[in-house]
Structure 1
């Protein structure tokens, strides 16, 4: 456990208030402890790992008066609209998960079976789903220790979706193509084996999206 004496931040809103609190913090991730002065019992970021942490104790600094109010500043412009004051934020949450993978293995003993699985894991072949080692389950389970942590960061502009979102959209497009092909086949059976090309043409952009390819223009 590391204890850090955090100096008062000179550019915080606490400068504009005569009421000051000494907040005590303890990071649940790296066990760093620190204290800081604010105008309320607000969250602060760990100086070591930058996680947002709420104070476990907050005390009014001796000599301060909670009844003293700071002067109310008039807005710089009465014509400022609510839309103009909006800012971009990226809000995230984290939950601890357990990744559980099960495979089928034929071996002489428990030890031999585990050694085979460990070698397949090291070779990154444990997910190949072969006849000799079928993949039985691959799931993510919440750890169940109430580890939900929120984070909100102000940004200049919204970032582009990362690889996880792009992969999710590819998977969704692939499922739409599969459904479309099944529906087109069923429609063809109902029409005595005849299919409308338009029914299949509309699946091409989805198929290209699933493959991560640029969209082609379908010629009439």
Structure 2
């Protein structure tokens, strides 16, 4: 990680104002760190790779002016107060993956088998998992390269979870319903074959969530 002591820039905008901020930056692309004084918590360009970066911390500097309060022999950090304000951020990372799918095919040659698989892929039926073409594997594998890339974006408020998160929550709810059904019938067998309806009723909201439907209040 490279740290750069950046000289104070933007003096025209700052000299006429007594409101100044010491902004701390960290580039997620080349890991360079630097600080700069501005009249707001604004973005800055990475001195190494020229990417536009949000400050991860912006602290108010109290005083009169840049000329009188920040002479060359004094570091800007000497006048920083703990006036940081928490903000909302969306932090993401990306990793390269390989999507590997395997199916079973009966054919008289490798060429014919591959042709059948390619046709099924083009028809979007390769995932149907039929007796003639069973789905054997459908997995995502990391490519193995050093491809981890981080991104941090300041937002006014967090966005709604996208379809991938909604689908994950549906699948998790469906698994909880399955476990609940098995447990309810096991308890029923232990009680002489009588299933307690309350054990089943509590699974209905989970089942509706798994189906992507609004959860309704269960009337007793």
Q: Same fold (TM over 0.5)?
A: yes
Shift of 1:141: 0.4
Give the CA RMSD over aligned residues: 3.1
Structure 1 residues 14 and 105, CA gap change in structure 2 (3 angstroms): farther
Aligned counterpart, 1:170: 170
State the distance in 1 between where 2:10 and 2:155 align.
24
Structure 1 residues 68 and 111, CA gap change in structure 2 (3 angstroms): farther
2:10 is aligned with 1:15: yes
Deviations 1:106-142 (A, max 9, x none): 0010100000000000000000000000000000000
Asked if the contact 1:177–1:207 (Cα under 8 Å) also holds between the matched residues in 2, the reply is yes
Shift of 1:14: 3.9
TM-score under structure 1 normalisation?
A: 0.67
Aligned counterpart, 1:22: none
Tell me the number of residue pairs that the alignment of Structure 1 and Structure 2 aligns: 167
Aligned counterpart, 2:190: 190
State the distance in 1 between where 2:77 and 2:141 align.
50
Aligned counterpart, 1:106: 106
2:120 is aligned with 1:152: no
3-state SS, counterpart of residue 121 of structure 1: helix
2:51 is aligned with 1:45: yes
State the distance in 1 between where 2:76 and 2:188 align.
76
State the distance in 2 between where 1:181 and 1:69 align.
70
3-state SS, counterpart of residue 145 of structure 2: coil
Deviations 1:20-64 (A, max 9, x none): xxxxxxx99xxxxxxxxx797566438xxx9xxxxxxxxxxxxxx
Structure 1 residues 70 and 194, CA gap change in structure 2 (3 angstroms): same
Which runs of 5 or more residues in structure 2 are unaligned? 1-7, 15-28, 31-43, 54-71
2:120 is aligned with 1:123: no
Deviations 1:37-94 (A, max 9, x none): x797566438xxx9xxxxxxxxxxxxxxxx755656967xx8x865xx1111000000
Aligned counterpart, 1:55: none
TM-score under structure 2 normalisation?
A: 0.67
Structure 1 residues 150 and 165, CA gap change in structure 2 (3 angstroms): same
Aligned counterpart, 1:142: 142
